[in-house]
Amino acid sequence: MKVGAVVITMGNRPEELRALLDSVAKQDGDPVQVVVVGNGSPVPDVPEGVRTVELPENLGIPGGRNVGIEAFGPSGRDVDILMFLDDDGLLAHTDTAELCRKAFTEDPSLGIISFRIADPDTGVTQRRHVPRLRASDPMRSSRVTTFLGGANAVRTQVLAEVGGLPDEFFYAHEETDLAWRALDAGWMIDYRSDMVLYHPTTAPSRHAVYHRMVARNRVWLARRNLPAPLVPVYLGVWLLLTLLRRPSGPALKAWFGGFKEGWTSPCGPRRPMKWRTVWRLTRLGRPPVI
C-alpha cells in the first residue's frame, strides 16, 4: 500500500519540522511521500523530494490538511494511506508506516488509526491523548470512536467516501466530525499504542481561541451529525461538564460566546447518523451523549 504524509506548518518551528521529516524519511519499506502545507506562511527549507504548498492565508487546521489531501489527487487517491502529523512531532520508531500498511491490509473494515502521543523526555502519554473514556492505561490498544488530529493515519478510501475534514471548524473537534461520518459509513477506528508520535507536553488552552472554538464547534458537531433527539442531551451534558471543571471567568465567558455562536451561525450540511451508528458508538464505549 502506498503511504503519504500531510504536515501543516505556520513556518515558526523549522528545526522541529526538519526533525519530523527526517523521522518520516527513516521509515521502513517503500518511501513515504510527503507534502508540507504552509498555512498562511512560507514553508521553511525542507529535504529534497518533499513537496510544498504555500497558502496565502491561514485556513485553519482542517482547511490546511484538506489542501494537503488534495495534493495527492482528489481525496488523496494517489496513495492508499495518509498520515497526518503535527510539525513539532517526531515518529518514535521506524516501523510506523509498515505497521499502518499491515493493519489496513489485514482489516478491510479499518478506516482510521490513532497513534499514541508521548512526551519525548518522559515518555508519558496524557489522558486527553487517549481517545476513549477509559483512558487510564494508554498502553492498551482498542477500538475507539474518534482519533488524534496530528498523529493518525487514514485510509484514503474513507476520504473518498465520506469527504474530508470540515473546513469551517478551523480548530477543534474536526477529527470527531470525520470519525462520526466514517463510523456511520461502516468504517472502524483503532487506537494503537505501538504507533508513537513524540510530542512535547502542552495544554490545548495555550491557543487564544481555544475556549470559544471548542464550544462553537461542539454545537456544530451535534447539529451536523446527531439525530435530533440527541442534540440537546449531548450539548446539555457538555455544558454541565464544562461548569463542573470550574474554568476561569474569562474562559467561561469565551466558552458561552462560542456556545451561542454555534447555534446562531451556519455549521455546514446536516447529515444525522443512523440510529444503528448510535448503538455502535455505545457498544464501543462512548455513546454520543458524552
Each residue's pLDDT tens digit, 187-239 = 999 999 999 999 998 776 555 589 999 999 999 999 999 999 999 999 999 99
Q: pLDDT digit string (tens) for 15-53? A: 999 999 999 999 999 999 999 999 999 999 999 999 999
pLDDT at 283: 96
Q: pLDDT digit string (tens) for 147-192? A: 999 999 999 999 999 999 999 999 999 999 999 999 999 999 999 9
pLDDT at 209: 81
pLDDT at 206: 53
Q: Is the separation of the CB atoms in 64 and 39 below 8 Å? A: yes
Which helix (H) or strand (E) segment holds residue 251: the answer is helix 249-264
Cα separation, 288 vs 106, whole angstroms: 28
Q: Please tell me the pTM assigned to this model.
A: 0.96
At 270, the pLDDT band (50, 70, 90 cuts) reads very high
**DSSP letters for 207-232:** STTHHHHHHHHHHHHHHHHS-TTHHH
Please list, in sequence order, all residues whose beta carbon lies within 8 angstroms of the beta carbon of residue 34, skipping any fewer than 6 positions away.
4, 5, 6, 7, 21, 24, 49, 50, 51
pLDDT exceeding 90 applies to what percent of the chain?
Answer: 94
pLDDT at 205: 58
Cα separation, 145 vs 165, whole angstroms: 16
